[in-house]
Each structure stands twice: as structure tokens, then as C-alpha cells.
Structure 1
Amino acid sequence: MNLKHALATTLLLAPAAHADDVTAGPHAFNANIGVVSQYVFRGLAQTNENPALQGGFDYAHGGGFYAGTWLSNVSWVADVFPDASASLEADIYAGFRKTFEPAGITGDIGYLRYQYPGSFPVLPLGSVEPHSDEAYASLGWKWLALKYSHSLGDLFGVEDSAGSGYVDLTVTVPLPASLSLVLHAGQQYYAGASAAARLAGTDNDALFGYEDYRATLNYAFAEGWTASATYTTTNAKDAGYLVGGNNLGDDQVVLALLKTL
């Protein structure tokens, strides 16, 4: 919202562990570019079911440090915020990753900034500008990865939501013929109570909290090319996610083509 971020999901759907596809070495640099039939992040439509062009650049040090940036066009900001001019998501991230042997457990901690360049002349009741900051930590072992992301300030435009959290459980199953199956379950919790939530007699989580599920089939071919197909679903509530008559968390199918350089 980040490849966004790893070839474990391939779809460029959202921040998992960053820079996982960077070649090992003292100093390694990597770029990626991809096109998706639509951009979906944590189960929520980001481009109103329209295509997105996405790409990023990563640096990794052999000692475990990594950093990078990732870009995508978006439409949800202008759809939600009246007269907003933001049509780009620009992420920056940095972290440290280490594998503990002989157990083969990989730990990862880092920081991620979601930036939406543009102007926001009108902010609806209970809203703030959507730029967001998260700290994250993850553990991975063989096919399993568990990650927690914690918002350091208001999250994705929801007022009084600092301290919100997202839990991400991902299982990656290698298959024959360069195929892999990725299964994901996530839960987004929203802290606090915005003015809009208080007016409705509730809190942010009752309006904006949800669970999301995703299944992705990846096919790696040629050198650095990956194609994928994904199905996503959520239980996001209309009260929090109905935009232009459509729930951003409705079931979606996403096709993607990615090239790692």
C-alpha cells in the first residue's frame, strides 16, 4: 500500500517482507516493474478495478540491512477525499533481516512510509491526510511467514487511529513446473475513535476493522519473469468502505505480470 513487495506474493499487492528478491552479496541492487489488472492491498481495491503500473528499487547489504522504494498509481485517495489531487502511492522502507541457523528461522524488522503526494483541500469529518507510517516485524520458517505491522501515527486517513495493527499469516507452497501457491489471511485492527465514529456512537475498529483472505497462483518463467492470478475477499463493512456505491473490500480477481531486473 507495498516487492510491495516480495516474490512470495508476486502480485505487488502489498507490503510483506521487503527486498526478499534481492540477490545476496555485500552490496546488492535490484529493480522490479510490473503491471496488474488492478491494485489490491490488504484486500482493499486501490485503483477502482482499473489497471496499475508498479515498480520499485531495492538495496541490500550482506550483513542484513536493506532499503528501497516502491511506486504505484492509485485512485482510492481521490475517490475518498473530495478534490484531492493525489494519484500516486510512493513507499519508502528500510529494515534488517537475519536468518538463524540451524533452525532456518528468518527474522525481519523495519519501517515503512506510505506517501500520497498531492493536495487535500477538503478533509471529511473524522479524516486526516492519508500518509501513514508503520513499523513491522516478521518471522519466517520454510513455507510459513508471520508478520505484524504497527501504525506509528494515524493510518490511511482515519483520525485518531495511531496504534492500529495488521497481522499477516502467509503460507507459500512450492508446486511442480515453476508454480507456487500462496495462501494469506490477515486482520486489520483500527485503534481509537474518530469524530465520525463518535458521532455514530462507535469506534474506529467497528467501522474500519476487517479480515482479508487471499489465494495466489504464481508461475515463474524465462529469466526474472513471473505471472500470477489472485483471488481476494474480505469482510470489510459498507459503513467504513462503501465508496461510489462499491465496497472497496468486495471479492476481486487480479492478474499480474512482473519483471525483476
Structure 2
Amino acid sequence: MFSRISQLFLAAAFSVPAYSVWADEPDTGNSFSGNVGVVSQYVYRGGVENDDMAVQGGVEYAHKSGVTLGYWGSTLGYDPADDAKNRGFEHDLYVAYDHDFAKDWKYHVQTTAYYYQDSGRLVSEEGERRKITGYDVMGYVAYKDLSVGATVQLNNATYANAGDVYLSAVYHHPLKYDMTLNTSVGAYIYNDAHDDSFMQTEKDVVFNEARVGVSKAFSDTGLTASLDYVVGGQDRLGDDFDNHMVAGLNFSF
């Protein structure tokens, strides 16, 4: 999930809604924008959402007031509603607000709904029910190219407990030849108060992932290529995530 990117063809620009808004300054006027791309793998907060090539893209409307409405989607390597299927699709819808409150400083708040194709509710053998659709709220404070924030899960979903908190920091640094250094780190504070047959928590606080990579923009084409190395941490059960090298190509318009 998100805010949810994190979200990864262009990890620094539009991996998950979280990454897109962390990287860009708010527009001075109303505007529409969009992007489409592919990544060699879709890795989110340490976990693999698609182990094969994933197609991703989104559209966004930014109002001069600082309010942004957006959509982002990606192919998945599984179907959350049906274990027998190895393909699915994630739809993320978000509303955000940016505000510059001092020189080089801004804050951002965002709420995101994560809807999965053909999703609804799952029922466990014990008769417990959980929604596949998830909701969260994210906030961050940014100083120049550094952003630090937190995302709070709002409901019990099949992949998270209400009250789970994801802490993250993102840093981008411009390099020569239209290249950018992209780094990030993330950790979870898991809430075990809602554990049931769907969700079990063994670790209260875990490091999830760290990323380091570079992206290259090709002037006047809208194309950006990226390469990121993902260092995997752990999940709420204490199981280790693998490390990954993720490559991508993104077209923005």
C-alpha cells in the first residue's frame, strides 16, 4: 500500500503517491500532469508487490491553493482477493495539501485510499472479516531536499492494522548531467491491538527498507531513467525482506 509511493519506476518522482509529492514543489497555478512507466520490480516498504516487470502510471490535478487530487496505479504479481490468481491491479486515490510556511520549509498532508481490482472483504475460517481496501493519512515536513514524515493506517485491512505507523525520511540531491541522487529510509511501528486470524504481530518496531539510487532526466523528452538498490529490513513477523536492484523508465507529461 502507500500514502502509500512507498511507490517505483521513478522512485524519486512517482513511485507511490508518497514519493511524487515528497519530491515536487507545489505549482503556482492550476495544472494537470501525468506519467506512465515500467519498473523491473515493484517493491514497496521492503515487500515485493510484483516480482516481474510492473506497469505504473498516474494523473494529478494541482490547484493554486495547494490542494492536489491524484490517481496512481500499478500492476501486481498477485490478486489480494484470490490466492489462485497471480495477477492484480492496485488503484490509489489521494487528496493532498502543500504549504510553504518559511523560506525553504514546507509541510504536506495527504490521505490515500488503496483499492485493489475486484476487492471487497475477505472472511477467515474463524468468521472474521477484513476489508481489502485500505486508507491512511500521511504528513511530512520538508527542508530543501530533505523530507521527514509519518503515515498512519486508518482501518483494519488485510495487509495492516489500524494504528500502524510508518516513519520515513527522503533525501534528493541534484548531480551533474541532469542526474539526481535519491535516498530514503523507512521503519514501522506496528499496532498489535487489532491482531486476529488475518494479522499477527511479533515485532513492535522494525526497520523496513533503505534505498539509494540515481535518476537521469533526458531534457525536453519527458523521459527519466532510474536505478535503485533496495536494502530489505523486516516485516511485522520478524521475517527478513530480500535486497533488490530496481530499474525503471518513466515518461511524464
TM-score range, shorter chain: 0.7 to 0.9
**Which of these residues, 13, 19, 28, is aligned with residue 31 of structure 2?**
28
Q: Distance in 1 between matches of 2:10 and 2:141?
A: 16
One-letter amino acid matched to 1:82: D
Contact 1:17–1:108, Cα closer than 8 Å, also in 2: no
Contact 2:62–2:69, Cα closer than 8 Å, also in 1: yes
Deviation at 1:173, TM superposition (A): 1.4
- Determine helix, strand or coil for the equivalent of 1:195: coil
Q: Distance in 2 between matches of 1:33 and 1:26?
A: 23
> Hey, which of these two has a bigger chunk of helix by percent?
1
Q: Distance in 2 between matches of 1:106 and 1:7?
A: 23
- Which digits, 9 at most, give the CA deviation of each residue in 1:93-117, with x for residues without a partner? 001101123x320110110111112
**Which of these residues, 215, 227, 245, is aligned with residue 218 of structure 1?**
215
Q: Distance in 1 between matches of 2:217 and 2:181?
A: 12
- Residues 14 and 211 from structure 1, CA distance in 2 versus in 1: closer, same or farther, beyond 3 angstroms? farther
- Determine helix, strand or coil for the equivalent of 2:21: coil
One-letter amino acid matched to 2:116: Y
Q: Distance in 2 between matches of 1:148 and 1:6?
A: 23
Contact 1:19–1:68, Cα closer than 8 Å, also in 2: no
TM-score by length of 1: 0.81
Contact 1:83–1:122, Cα closer than 8 Å, also in 2: no
- Determine helix, strand or coil for the equivalent of 1:172: strand
- Residues 123 and 235 from structure 1, CA distance in 2 versus in 1: closer, same or farther, beyond 3 angstroms? farther
Structure 2 partner of 1:167: 167
Deviating beyond 6 angstroms after TM superposition, the runs of 4 or more aligned structure 1 residues are: 5-8
Contact 2:35–2:252, Cα closer than 8 Å, also in 1: yes
One-letter amino acid matched to 1:109: V
**Which of these residues, 122, 127, 130, is aligned with residue 132 of structure 2?**
130
Deviation at 1:20, TM superposition (A): 5.3
After the TM superposition, which residues 91-106 of structure 1 pair with which residues of structure 2 at under 5 Å, given as runs?
A: 91-101=92-102, 103-106=103-106
Q: Distance in 2 between matches of 1:182 and 1:21?
A: 13
> Hey, which of these two has a bigger chunk of strand by percent?
2
Structure 2 partner of 1:229: 227
Structure 2 partner of 1:244: none
Aligned length: 246
Contact 1:144–1:171, Cα closer than 8 Å, also in 2: yes
- Determine helix, strand or coil for the equivalent of 2:18: coil
Contact 1:231–1:251, Cα closer than 8 Å, also in 2: yes
- Residues 15 and 85 from structure 1, CA distance in 2 versus in 1: closer, same or farther, beyond 3 angstroms? same
- Which digits, 9 at most, give the CA deviation of each residue in 1:125-152, with x for residues without a partner? 6883432101111111112101210111
Structure 1 partner of 2:156: 154
Contact 2:208–2:235, Cα closer than 8 Å, also in 1: no
Q: Structure 1: where are the runs of 5+ without partners?
A: 242-246
- Which digits, 9 at most, give the CA deviation of each residue in 1:201-252, with x for residues without a partner? xx525289542111121111132211000111222259566xxxxx6x2111
- Residues 236 and 39 from structure 1, CA distance in 2 versus in 1: closer, same or farther, beyond 3 angstroms? same
Structure 1 partner of 2:19: 16
